[in-house]
């Protein structure tokens, strides 16, 4: 199954109300690659990630992750991907530790890792504080820790650098590099240009719902 | 990871959230207490009128409390995209529904256990023979039906702008058989001792609970997925 692309999109379109957000997106990403997706506000980056995450249905065309159709095989798809969303996705009235423990419960991961992960993302001292007291950057770090805990084969990162200070951005670079070294596939939508620490396998431009560059070619 | 663990994790999270935020507790307790007291004043001092009205007022208070509690439950999840994150986990939608249902049911049953003695005292109703087991049975079955429908429709309307108006409009026509069964079963043992009648209503209530439970659990994924 090593030849199966991690991501395979054929003529993918998505309409939101009267607006055509994605217009025939074709993309193929081999496993263990890092692909950066650029584009202005409203270009369709988040919509594309949400289609891959099974949260939005394609209007037409097809999307497959590791050979599994995002429409027809959603359970298989969800078992192979995780997403860091812009909003963070944490419960405000639970502590950081409780939020990660919940993620561990939902994915069958070991709760013992939670403390070490919070320390890794710089939230050890805030581990037992409610998330509603966190800054946007701290919430982003917690979301990153959740993704590290679940550690799925495919990481979908929606603006992972947003709201982070320099140390936080460096942390994202390190975590992404380590995930890539472990063979994870990463698709990152980001406005941050030229992160020196990262050398993506492909940088794609999404403009007006279309991918401007040719799909990544596997070596 | 078994589905039962998912159910318990979701329920634990919801109850913990409610325990700390008290978002639903404050609103439902205040509303229920005001309903019971205001209706007691409005009905006057005729004992037979109070006896007749007590079960209906109690269950109206519980029904509105159920709507508020279920709506608050989903609203809290939507605040930081946490519900979206919950739906990204590789777990069955039915397990998420059952977890939320379990939390809402526990909350409503506790509220019912608190309000029932208050209503009995406030309305000066004599509990008839068999009330000690018929009323708890009506509470458990009635709140289960209420929680099932409230959780389902709260999920359906969670992302809509007019959810506060739509939730009761959609829910109340469906809830009528549950409300009827719960009120009649309670009525049969308050001020009276018509155990056969209470048993019949409880059976009907259990039947509707089963139907709603199966249908709502099976259809929940249509509610939360596109």
DSSP A54-119: TSS--SEEEEEETTEETTT-HHHHHTTEEEE-TT----TTSBHHHHHHHHHHHHT--TTHHHHHHH
Q: What does the pLDDT look like over B32-72, one tens digit per residue? A: 999 999 999 999 888 889 888 999 999 999 999 988 888 88
Given a cut of 60, is residue B209 above it in pLDDT?
A: yes
Amino acid B108: pLDDT? 94
User: Rounded distance, CA B50 to CA B124, Å?
Assistant: 8
Which is more confident, B132 or A213?
A: B132
Residue A29 pairs with which residues in a beta bridge?
A7
What is the DSSP pairing of strand A154-158 with strand A185-189?
parallel
The structural domains of chain B, with segments of one domain joined by +, span 3-225
Question: What's the residue count for chain B?
Answer: 226
Q: Cβ A93–B85 below 8 Å, yes or no?
A: no
Tell me, yes or no, if A128 comes closer than 8 A to chain B by beta carbon.
no
User: Rounded distance, CA B55 to CA B139, Å?
Assistant: 11
Pair B182, B137: CB distance under 8 Å: no
Please state, as a whole number, how many other Cβ atoms lie within 10 Å of the Cβ of residue B129.
11
Question: What is the chain A residue with the closest CA to B224?
Answer: A55
pTM for this prediction: 0.91
Tell me, yes or no, if B44 comes closer than 8 A to chain A by beta carbon.
no
- Structure ipTM over 0.95, yes or no: no
* Phi–psi pair at B6, nearest 5 degrees: -65, -45
Q: Cβ B16–A90 below 8 Å, yes or no?
A: no
Q: What does the pLDDT look like over A162-217, one tens digit per residue? A: 989 999 999 999 999 999 999 999 999 987 766 767 889 999 999 888 887 644 44
Task: Provide the pLDDT confidence category of residue A34 given band limits of 50, 70 and 90.
Answer: very high
Partners of residue B21 in chain A, C-beta under 8 Å? 93
Given a cut of 80, is residue B17 above it in pLDDT?
A: yes
CA distances from A201 to A26, A169, B222 (A): 17, 19, 38
Task: Provide the pLDDT confidence category of residue B192 given band limits of 50, 70 and 90.
Answer: confident
* Poorest-pLDDT segment among A126-135, B71-80, B113-122: B71-80
User: Rounded distance, CA A50 to CA A34, Å?
Assistant: 18
| Percent of the residues in chain B that have a pLDDT greater than 70, as a whole number | 99
User: Rounded distance, CA A112 to CA A126, Å?
Assistant: 17
Pair A83, A33: CB distance under 8 Å: no
Amino acid A3: pLDDT? 78
Q: What does the pLDDT look like over B83-97, one tens digit per residue? A: 999 999 999 999 999
Site of tokens 């329920």: B11
**Which of A 134-153 lie inside 8 A of B, CB atoms?**
139, 146
Task: Provide the pLDDT confidence category of residue A126 given band limits of 50, 70 and 90.
Answer: very high
Q: What does the pLDDT look like over A48-106, one tens digit per residue? A: 999 999 999 999 999 999 999 999 999 999 999 999 998 889 999 999 999 999 999 99
Site of tokens 């692909």: A35
Which two structure tokens, joined as six digits, stand for A28? 């193929």
Option in B9, B85, B90 nearest A79 (CB):
B90
Burial of B13 per CB tally in 10 Å (0-12, 13-18, 19+)? buried
Å between B220 CA and nearest CA of chain A: 15
Å between A12 CA and nearest CA of chain B: 16
Query: Is A69 in a helix, a strand, or coil?
Result: strand
* Phi–psi pair at A20, nearest 5 degrees: -90, 105
Tell me, yes or no, if B89 comes closer than 8 A to chain A by beta carbon.
yes
Average of per-residue pLDDT across B20-32: 86
CA angle A23, A29, A31 (to 5 degrees): 150
User: Rounded distance, CA B133 to CA B135, Å?
Assistant: 6
Task: Provide the pLDDT confidence category of residue B217 given band limits of 50, 70 and 90.
Answer: very high
Given a cut of 90, is residue B218 above it in pLDDT?
A: yes
Which is more confident, A193 or A113?
A: A113
Which residue from A165, A100, A161, A166 is spatially nearest to A127, judged by alpha carbons?
A: A100
User: Rounded distance, CA A77 to CA A95, Å?
Assistant: 29
What is the DSSP pairing of strand A60-65 with strand A7-16?
antiparallel
Which residue from B70, B59, B72, B71 is spatially nearest to B32, judged by alpha carbons?
A: B59
Average of per-residue pLDDT across B183-187: 92
């Amino acid at each position: 199954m090593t030849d199966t692309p991690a991501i395979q999109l054929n003529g993918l379109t998505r309409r939101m109300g009267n607006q055509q957000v994605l217009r025939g997106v074709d993309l193929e990403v081999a496993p263990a690659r890092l692909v950066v997706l650029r584009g202005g506000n409203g270009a369709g980056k988040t919509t594309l990630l949400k289609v891959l995450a099974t949260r939005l249905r394609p209007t037409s065309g097809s999307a497959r992750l590791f050979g599994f159709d995002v429409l027809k095989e959603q359970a298989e798809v969800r078992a192979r991907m995780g997403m860091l969303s812009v909003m963070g996705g944490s419960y405000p009235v639970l502590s950081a530790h409780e939020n990660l423990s919940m993620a561990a419960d939902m994915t069958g991961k070991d709760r013992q890792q939670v403390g070490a992960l919070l320390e890794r993302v710089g939230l050890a001292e805030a581990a037992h504080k409610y998330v509603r007291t966190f800054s946007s950057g701290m919430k982003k770090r917690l979301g990153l820790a959740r993704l590290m805990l679940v550690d799925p084969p495919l990481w979908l990162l929606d603006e992972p650098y947003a709201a982070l200070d320099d140390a936080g951005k460096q942390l994202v670079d390190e975590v992404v590099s380590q995930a890539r070294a472990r063979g994870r596939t990463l698709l990152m939508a980001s406005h941050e240009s030229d992160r020196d620490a990262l050398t993506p396998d492909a940088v794609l431009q999404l403009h007006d719902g279309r991918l401007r560059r040719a799909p990544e070619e596997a070596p | 990871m078994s589905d039962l663990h998912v159910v318990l994790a979701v329920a634990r999270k919801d109850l913990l959230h409610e325990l700390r935020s008290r978002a639903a507790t404050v609103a439902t307790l205040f509303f229920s207490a005001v309903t019971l007291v205001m209706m007691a004043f409005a009905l006057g001092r005729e004992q037979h009128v109070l006896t007749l009205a007590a079960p209906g007022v109690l269950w109206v208070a519980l029904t509105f409390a159920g709507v508020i509690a279920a709506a608050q439950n989903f609203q809290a999840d939507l605040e930081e995209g946490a519900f979206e994150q919950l739906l990204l986990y590789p777990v069955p939608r039915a397990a998420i529904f059952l977890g939320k249902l379990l939390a809402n049911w526990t909350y409503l049953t506790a509220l019912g256990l608190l309000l029932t003695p208050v209503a009995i005292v406030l309305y000066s109703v004599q509990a008839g023979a068999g009330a000690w087991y018929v009323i708890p049975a009506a509470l458990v079955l009635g709140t289960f039906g209420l929680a099932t429908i409230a959780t389902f429709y709260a999920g359906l309307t969670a992302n809509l702008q007019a959810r506060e108006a739509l939730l009761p409009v959609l829910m109340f026509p469906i809830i009528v058989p549950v409300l009827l069964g719960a009120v009649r079963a309670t009525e049969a043992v308050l001020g009276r001792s018509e155990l056969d009648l209470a048993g019949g209503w409880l059976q009907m209530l259990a039947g509707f609970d089963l139907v709603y439970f199966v249908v709502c659990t099976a259809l929940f994924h249509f509610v939360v997925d596109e």
